[in-house]
Amino acid sequence: MTSEQFSGPQDAFFTVFHDLPRQGPGSDAVTLAMIDRLRPLLPADPYCVDMGCGNGRSSLLLAEHLAARVAAVDTHQPFLDELADTARRRGLAERLDIRCRDMLDARLKRRTLDLVWSEGAAYVVGLEAALEHWRLLLKPGGYLVVSDCMWLHPSPPPAVRRFWEAAYPDMRTVAESLAVAERLGYAFLHAETLPECGWWQDYYLPLERRLETLGPMAERDPALAGVMAGVRDEIAMYRAHADVYGYVFMVLRWPGASG
């Protein structure tokens, strides 16, 4: 989730999401499985971008396990500072090009990337807009891996639909999302749903502990209290309806001609 889904200033949002293992649902195991799937298809020294990288958990895995050069793009400098510190400690700093930029204005050259990667961030600009823009960055034969929140059930309960219509109006089913990608010229290779543990282990459980810690501060800060209430509503919704929606990874190939 991002600050655009909650009322109040962004500093309240980032107060909640500061110093967490992740800024959204995800799993190192699933990320590494996607990397293993792509490794034989990519050059030995691939050039990648991680769009909406947050604190760079996936950026570091790409750099380490693909021996990739990674442009790590996010708009929140403190997350990028955390990434830079972690990369230095792990000896990966030289493989990272950290950019405090918008995902649609990352200042990357067209047709230079072997891989565009984005976990849980495309909805900020909309999946279709993201896929349309990012295809311009890929070399012919390049790959895109994106995870997005999607409907897993064709008829979600009204309360769940109302919640997500407010949080993510463009949310689609898996089939609808794949149709968007194919209409834009991508070839579909693989889709995989993030397991429920990917929502809880490194995201919702640490987030719940963070909310408990921030409780006294929220009593004096209405904006922070509002953000925290929105987060609690989201966690409660997933706890009750995890079978209705989820994050789905799509692995796509861009076969288009250069230009």
> Could you tell me the CATH number of the domain that includes residue 173?
3.40.50.150
Assess contact for 137 and 228: CB atoms under 8 A: no
Give the mean pLDDT of the chain.
94
Best CA proximity match to 16, nearest among 209, 233, 254: 209
Looking at residue 257, its pLDDT comes to: 59
Q: Looking at the 3D structure of the chain, how many domains does it have?
A: 1
Q: Which residues partner with 97 through β-bridges?
A: 71
Looking at residue 11, its pLDDT comes to: 85
In a domain, 237, yes or no: no
- How many other C-beta atoms are found inside a 10 Å radius of the C-beta of residue 158? 8
Whole-angstrom CA distances from 99 to 68, 74, 172 are 16, 7, 30
* Summary count for the chain: helices (H), strands (E): 10, 7
* 153 has a pLDDT exceeding 70: yes
Q: How far from chain centre, in Å, is Cα 33? A: 16
pLDDT class of 99 with cuts at 50, 70, 90: very high
pLDDT class of 215 with cuts at 50, 70, 90: very high
Least trusted range by pLDDT, from 10-14, 119-123, 124-128, 161-165: 10-14
In a domain, 13, yes or no: no
Place of tokens 């409660």: 236
* Cα–Cα distance for residue pair 141/89, rounded to 1 Å: 34
* Cα–Cα distance for residue pair 46/63, rounded to 1 Å: 9
Q: How do residues 14-30 score in pLDDT, each as one tens digit?
A: 999 988 999 999 999 99
In a domain, 4, yes or no: no
In a domain, 234, yes or no: no
3-state helix, strand, coil in the chain (%, to 5): 50, 20, 30
Q: Where are the alpha helices (DSSP H) in 135-221?
A: 158-167, 174-183, 197-199, 205-218
Looking at residue 9, its pLDDT comes to: 56
Q: Which residues partner with 249 through β-bridges?
A: 147, 192
Positive or negative, the CA dihedral 230, 193, 185, 138 is: positive
User: What do you get for the CA distance between the two ends of the chain, in Å?
Assistant: 34
In a domain, 235, yes or no: no
Percent of the chain's residues with pLDDT above 90: 92
Q: Which range marks the domain in which residue 105 is found?
A: 22-198+243-254
In a domain, 207, yes or no: no
In a domain, 119, yes or no: yes
Whole-angstrom CA distances from 248 to 14, 44, 120, 128 are 25, 27, 9, 15
In a domain, 164, yes or no: yes
* Cα–Cα distance for residue pair 141/187, rounded to 1 Å: 10
Q: How far from chain centre, in Å, is Cα 161? A: 21
Mean pLDDT of 194-219: 97
